[in-house]
Structure 1
Amino acid sequence: MKRYRELSPSLRTIMTPGPVEVDPRVLRAMSLPILGQFDPEFTDIMNDTMDMIRALFQTDNRWAYPIDGTSRSGIEAVLTSLIEPGDRVLVPIYGRFGHLLVEIAQRCGAQVSTLEQEWGQVFARGQVAEAILRERPDLVAIVHGETSTGCLQPLEEIGKACRASDALLVVDAVATVGGTRIAADEWMLDAVIGGTQKCLSIPAGMAPITYNERAEAKLLRRKRIERGLRDPKQEADSGGRPIQSNYFDLSQLQDYWSPARLNHHTEATSMLYALREGLRFVLEEGLEPRFARHLEHEAALVAGLRAMGLTLFGDPDCKMPMVTCVNIPDQVDGESVRSMLLHEFGIEIASSFGSLKGRIWRIGTMGFSCNKKNVLHLLGALDAALLRHGVSIPTGAAVQAALDVYDSKVDAQG
């Protein structure tokens, strides 16, 4: 029989838009003893987690809990539960992950219309609101922060427009939650999906979500059909359809997370430990200080890149604070530079997708990976890698520019 080596992954400095380095305290929590899912100690952990998810999304929603699975499981759970066949769905697209929302909505049988913006920009004030008035959708699905382009879409006006037209607003906040402000109630977001493997610095494997009473009302109507409490034909005539998925049925999952704890699936115990502890560390740091930390290290990184002579991709007025997209210099093999960073310096950055593949690098400063050591390490390594690839740059200027940013903050505080 073939013998396999003991697992021993290399230590990396991960500066991609996800996954990122995991807080060691989260890894420690994952090694704790397993509890049964109906053990009172475990249900206390579930309740703690729900409370912290509410705080994370800045909401008073009754329903705030994780979906067991990676971020896409949360997106699928929300969309498959809220979209009925024949529903009109509007998806404003300004990057790769808008197309994912379109695909999932189409699989649900929706009549999908799209509004597209050039990659590297977001929608101007009024654009999405005008499309909502024109298309009269039942549901609008949009990405908050597009990691494919490094752009952040403001949501406040879109939330108001959806509420005025009685459309549900579903937001993919996978890349932004825990790294910048998301005010679900204030912005009138009906359902929001987050991810663990980015700014929360938890392994991929859970997707915290929240949704309000408007979304729940649709779930409960579909649940009545599914359980035969109303005439399915009568409901079908009025547009109602039962939820097809079992695993991703929010109407069943909320029963599981309710005080009744109705059995639905076996909970991912160790991942729930990780989520609870990761959220605890986020809230202990404080949301506003955490957002400020992401802005500080973004500023240092950007100053270093510009001092090196590199340029950024996209409109700077809508840049995500946790993702920086860098134009690859002409005549430079971007993949060769990435390979050198990984194998010589132990640093991973990302390439991109579609028309941007080979044109930009994407650098993440997220969660636990968002720190001074990582920023300075990356800038010094990228300096060396570009010189090695024949690019003429002012040697050492990048690290010095980043240090100037850090020093200016110390001076301001002192």
Structure 2
Amino acid sequence: MDVLQAEWGKQVSPDEVERTLSEHTYKAVTITHADTSTGVAADLDALVPIIKKHGALVILDGVCATAAMEEDMSKEYGSPNNKIDVILTGSQKAIGVPPGLAIVAFNQTALNAREEMEHIPAYYCDIKNWIPIMHDPSKYFATPPVNLIYAYDEGMKLVMEEGLEKRYARHSAFGKGVRGALREYGMTPLAEEDVAASTLSCILYPDSVNDAEFRSVLGKKE
């Protein structure tokens, strides 16, 4: 496994991705849509076509982005074959329900890739074991988190009632507003504004503030 990283506050260079994929063969490439360490959003429009050109699956880590930033598995990034193949996310971020659910979406290309594999060292993480349950929930092979599933259903109702486009626009506007307000207090966002994620902002302390002292004060009980 190889990891491509960017300078803090900036995106991974598409040219570097292109160069790496040209030099080696990869079956899959994982993209972090919204990076929680830096507040940077990945440029899917640039990265997905490069990855698909080299024949790899596109796996998107949407934990901090799903339901607040566009993640459309039907979207064609330049050509009909350029699509996101797998999205992995959780219940506790923009979907807005308690933590505990791992949520995954596979397209047919990704399912076909799994069919070509033989035994894999996984059980709960093997999508092949979950397909029968999707057709018949009574075949669930463990104890289902019933309350979380009900909460997830309600959370998704709220998401869809608002509408995805409106939801994306709202998070984008609120993110810009928060970063703009914090700048007024001398706090600088780590991510440059043109690559900043909508769902979280990582802020640099003013020069006069000591990190350890600041967190110590926050941790004190009244």
TM-score by length of 2: 0.87
Report how many aligned residue pairs link the two structures: 216
Relative distance call for 1:308 and 1:281 in structure 2 (3 A) is same
| Residues 297-336 of structure 1: pairs in structure 2 closer than 5 A | 297-336=174-213
Bigger radius of gyration among the two: 1
Matched residue, 1:265:
142
CA contact (8 A) 1:252 1:264 kept: no
User: 2-side partners of 1:305 and 1:134: how far apart?
Assistant: 43
Please, which of 55, 59, 65 is the counterpart of residue 176 of structure 1? 65
Matched residue, 1:247:
124
User: 2-side partners of 1:183 and 1:136: how far apart?
Assistant: 26
Secondary structure class of the residue paired with 1:114: coil
Relative distance call for 1:219 and 1:197 in structure 2 (3 A) is same
Matched, 1:285 2:174: no
| Residues 22-33 of structure 1: pairs in structure 2 closer than 5 A | none
Percent identity, aligned pairs only, is 26
Matched residue, 1:32:
none
CA drift of 1:207 comes to 1.9
Matched, 1:140 2:29: yes
Relative distance call for 1:338 and 1:290 in structure 2 (3 A) is farther
User: 2-side partners of 1:147 and 1:190: how far apart?
Assistant: 22
CA drift of 1:298 comes to 1.8
Please, which of 172, 188, 207 is the counterpart of residue 295 of structure 1? 172
Secondary structure class of the residue paired with 1:146: coil
Note the alpha carbon deviations across 1:35-88, whole angstroms, 9 max, x for none: xxxxxxxxxxxxxxxxxxxxxxxxxxxxxxxxxxxxxxxxxxxxxxxxxxxxxx
Matched letter for residue 67 of structure 2: G
Please, which of 204, 221, 226 is the counterpart of residue 99 of structure 2? 204
CA contact (8 A) 1:140 1:167 kept: yes
Structure 1 unaligned spans of 5+: 1-111, 223-240, 346-414
User: 2-side partners of 1:189 and 1:131: how far apart?
Assistant: 19
Secondary structure class of the residue paired with 1:320: coil
User: 2-side partners of 1:318 and 1:126: how far apart?
Assistant: 17
Matched letter for residue 203 of structure 2: V
The CA RMSD measured in Å over matched residues stands at: 2.1
CA contact (8 A) 2:58 2:84 kept: yes
CA contact (8 A) 1:121 1:318 kept: yes
| Residues 6-405 of structure 1: pairs in structure 2 closer than 5 A | 112-186=1-75, 187=77, 188-222=83-117, 241-259=118-136, 261-341=138-218
Secondary structure class of the residue paired with 1:116: coil
CA contact (8 A) 1:140 1:162 kept: yes
User: 2-side partners of 1:338 and 1:300: how far apart?
Assistant: 24
CA drift of 1:284 comes to 0.6
Relative distance call for 1:176 and 1:129 in structure 2 (3 A) is same
CA drift of 1:261 comes to 4.9
Relative distance call for 1:300 and 1:343 in structure 2 (3 A) is farther
User: 2-side partners of 1:200 and 1:343: how far apart?
Assistant: 31
TM-score by length of 1: 0.49
Structure 2 unaligned spans of 5+: 78-82
